[in-house]
Each structure stands twice: as C-alpha cells, then as structure tokens.
Amino acid sequence: MAAAALCPAARAFEHITLRTGFSIDCVRHEPLDATHTRLYMAGDGNYQDLRSADIVGIELLPDPPAAVSVKSAVELALEAPSGATLTAAELHVLLAAAGAAHNIDEDLLASVIRTESGGNAHAISRTGARGLMQLMPETAQQLGVKDPNKPDQNINGGTAYLDALLKRYKDDVVLALAAYNAGPGAVDKYHGVPPFRETRAYVTRVINDFNRRKKASLASIAAAVPPR
C-alpha cells in the first residue's frame, strides 16, 4: 500500500471528498493516467492512488496556522503512568505520532478511541479488552504491547492493528472498522460488514464522529484566515 486511506489534516492543502462519503486531506493531486489520480501526502514519498471516478469534490484549504510548540505535551504524554488520564494536548501528541507512523488520519484514531473507550485509559470491556483503543490481551501481546493500560503503548498498538486491517481490506475503512470491532474472521465469513447490531452501530458511530471532526477542523481553519 503506497499510503493509508487518510492523512493528517494539519499539513494538508487540499480537501478531497470521495464518493463513499469519506474525505482525504493532502498536499496536492495530479492525474496519474486517464482513470486514476495520485494524491500526494505530507512527508517525502507519501502518496495514494485513487480512481478519478471516486473523487466527487476537491476543495483548496488555506494555509494552516503556525505550529505551536508541543514539547511539554510530548514529555508529559510519554511519561504518563499506566492508566493515567491524558489532557487533550497530550492525547493529540500521541495520536499525531501514531498517525504519522502509519499514515492514518489522527481524527480517525480519535474517533475510534471515543467509540471504544470514551477516552478512558482504565476502560475494561466485558470481554477483557483494555485501554483507550480496547485491545484484547492476545492482540496486545501479538502487537508487543506490554501494558495496554499505558496510553502510548495502547495507542501505538491499536494504530498498528488498524493499519494492518486497512492493508488487509485494501484501504476499505468500513471493513477495517468492522474487523476492528468483530474480528477479521467475521468480516471474511460474511464477505462484508457482519450482520451484528453492535458492529454496524460501531462502524456508524466511528464514521459519524470522524466526519464531525473533519467538519470542525475545516471550520476552525477557515475561521483562522483573516477576511480579505
């Protein structure tokens, strides 16, 4: 996979709306051939190729406001003890780092966390899933997560798992989210989103929250641009 389905909006200059209802923020786009378009992401060599027919809208974004130093937030986030409650700034630092490492939109990760745990690093599900991204013990072990209650380890592990699912389902975010909730075995068995009420509600909640975050982000960027 050349790049994941989504990229961090903070470094983007174009907002691409897809036929599926999802959107991608990127630096620029260029026609690749008669039927495909290449989206160039932030970072050297990062790009994603899409069918041109899947793109329904392209919006130019204003330059983002100057970056604010987050050194103190980085230090606090990495030093956070197991099960600690993170501030919004600390969570942003961890999500931005994990998203950049796997080319996954930070807002998508935030939406998964909101749906999985409500941002509670102490959360434990009835099936034993733990932490912000609700990792099952076996999954956490496979991902090298030693302490799933520690925010940075949980986020890194959950993001790596979501990245693996996106690759498995060829950047189909809906199927990847369904597999994150119900397991890839269920998605493969039903050749799509399983007919489980919980899984379908889960996918809907994540997507709705993600779209809300993107709209708020665009509104915030627009508000930061002085009127001409």
Residue 127's contacts (CB-CB under 8 Å, 6 or more residues apart) are: 136
* Eight-class DSSP state of 43: S
Catalytic residue among 90, 106, 116, 198: 116
Tokens in use for 75?
């230090």
Residue with tokens 């950047």: 171
- Check if 14 is active-site: no
Q: Which residue in 220, 228, 217 sits closest to 9, CA to CA?
A: 217
* Eight-class DSSP state of 227: P
As a whole number of angstroms, the distance between CA 182 and CA 194 comes to 8
Q: Which residue in 196, 203, 195, 160 sits closest to 178, CA to CA?
A: 203
Tokens in use for 111?
């939406």
Q: Is 24 helix (H, G, I), strand (E, B) or coil?
A: strand
The b/e string for 135-172 (b: 16+ C-beta within 10 A; e otherwise) is bbeebbeebebeebbbbbbbbbbbbbbbbbbbeebebb
CB 8 within 8 A of CB 26: no
Q: What residues are annotated to the active site? A: 116
